[in-house]
Amino acid sequence: MPTIGWFEILIIVAIAIIVLGPKDFPVMLKKVGSWIGSTKKYINNIQNEVSNIDIDENSIEKKEEKKDES
């Protein structure tokens, strides 16, 4: 997977400032940051739900094994 270096980020920022203008650039950065934050929260919630399902399944299996032993 290719990596993005500082020079490439600098070029993207320069093009964004030229296209958006210096007044709208900070507003766009705030929106993009908000989108990234909400996406991270959404992915984190999904990961937590999946791990909770796995934990619940393991506890059910252990309870069933204890019942079978008795």
**pLDDT at site 61:** 67
> Does residue 60 register a pLDDT over 80?
no
Tell whether 50 is covered by a domain. Answer: yes
Range of the domain at 37: 22-69
- What domain count does the chain have? 1
User: pLDDT digit string (tens) for 6-35?
Assistant: 999 899 989 989 998 889 989 998 999 999
What is the distance between the alpha carbons of residues 6 and 12, in angstroms, rounded to a whole number?
A: 10
Tell whether 41 is covered by a domain. Answer: yes
Report the share of the chain in percent with pLDDT over 70: 79
Tell whether 43 is covered by a domain. Answer: yes
Tell whether 7 is covered by a domain. Answer: no
The answer to whether the predicted template modeling score (pTM) of the entire model surpasses 0.75 is no
Q: What is the mean pLDDT of the chain?
A: 84
Name the CA dihedral angle for 50, 52, 54, 57, rounded to a multiple of 10 degrees. Answer: -140
